[in-house]
Amino acid sequence: MVRLFKAQIMSRSFLFMLTNMGGKAMAAVAQLYAIFVFARVYSQEDTAVIFLLFGYSIWFQIFDLGLAQTLQNKFNSRQISGNDALKLLLFQFLFVLVFALIALKTSALTDLLVSESRKGASEEAVEAFTIGASVLLIASNNAITQRLLLVFNKGQLANILILSQSVLAIISLVFFYYSDDKPNLSLALLYYLGPQILVYMPVLVTFLHRLATDKTRHHKNGIGSILIDSLGFWGLGILSVLYLGMDYYFAAHYLSADEVVSYHLAARVFFVSYVPYYAFVQHRARRLSFLSKNSAGSAVASMFKDSATLGMGSVLIVFFFAVALEGMGAFALMTNADGMSLQLLSFACLYFSVRACRDVAVVIASGLNSRRVLCMVYTSESAVCLILMSIMVPSFGGVGIFGSMFVASSVGLILLIYQARKLGYQFL
């Protein structure tokens, strides 16, 4: 019976992966088209500020308050009801809405994140950064909504939402690019980022209606338990995004405008490789607690090997396509600048290859609720990356960023494999 269950999970994972790939592939297209549009319409200095905002988007994910992973784990273990989860989803939305309004009234956040890059940028770009940051704060709620839809067996709806926001963003950018009167930068940014909020509003309204009309009683102790666990995952989330978003912080302080554009382009091109393997492992790991109890380490080993192989293969495919396109001058035309060097692409390939394996191991560790291990890994990665970037980025620019993150991710992967073996799970 366990074998049959595993076979069903595998087939569903492939189906979910294909539909999820469609949505996230469209998101990748939207990101690349945004690079083309903003780079062609605005100055390189203003474009660099906007690209820094896009890169910082991962830092805004900490405002999910650790609820995404906590709610998934609690719901799967039947410790809370669906309505308990929805209450905290709506609470988080109200929290970030207030915080976003505060961010609009102060420049402290913008000053911290783009201080050096403001020298050559216009005040319009700085204002657009502030507005965009507020939108991304509100959009942090999407991660929780996506996770709840997944555990509610509404994964296909989650994929439709991803696809819809990307399609709307592309349509908005096309309308903006080919319009006779180009709007100011803030409005153009809202064209691109606005759909991240708009497409999720009907879902939030539906959840609110469900809570308002449901009269059944729920777990009395569920909310308190969630809050305690979410604090732990929130701390882990801060450590994780501190590392994964550190590259753009150093880019903002040490890279010139043209180097920021090239680095952001390389990062977004390799994002395409992230789409298949992460969708695959995330879906398989949603029932990891059941598999780990019934089939011990074999399920974990299979999950890691299948997902990591898919990830590394995706990275290599993207690398070869990127080299070919760079040779044809496609990226130089796209950015209205120099495109990307082969050295930058090569170091990006090294980093994202290790990153694929590391990401898979992190998803598995999260599914097993191994917070102590994750805390150790994130802390080590952040420390290594901070030290190396402080040394390498001033001298080597974008190559130094990718090189530093390659070493840091390698350290994290080694720690994850070592700790997994201590717990009885053989990744390799």
Element at 23 (helix H, strand E): helix 2-41
266 vs 14: CA distance, rounded Å: 28
**Angle, in degrees to the nearest 10, between helices 141-151 and 123-139:** 30
Which pLDDT value is given to residue 136?
92
Which pLDDT value is given to residue 414?
93
Structure tokens at 297: 């380490």
Q: Which of 153, 198, 194 is nearest to 172 (CA)?
A: 194
57 vs 63: CA distance, rounded Å: 11
Amino acid at 91: F
Mean per-residue pLDDT pooled into runs of 10, the chain (428 residues) = 51 64 82 90 88 90 82 73 79 88 82 67 84 91 85 80 91 87 83 91 85 63 68 80 88 88 92 83 67 58 85 94 89 78 94 94 80 88 95 94 96 88 59
Are 369 and 296 in contact, with CB atoms under 8 Å apart? no
70 vs 20: CA distance, rounded Å: 22
Structure tokens at 122: 């216009």
Residue with tokens 């799970």: 425
Which pLDDT value is given to residue 428?
47
Residue with tokens 């903003």: 38
The DSSP symbol for 136 reads H
118 vs 417: CA distance, rounded Å: 42
377 vs 373: CA distance, rounded Å: 6
Count of C-beta atoms within a 10 Å radius of residue 130: 21
Which pLDDT value is given to residue 409?
95
pTM, full prediction: 0.84
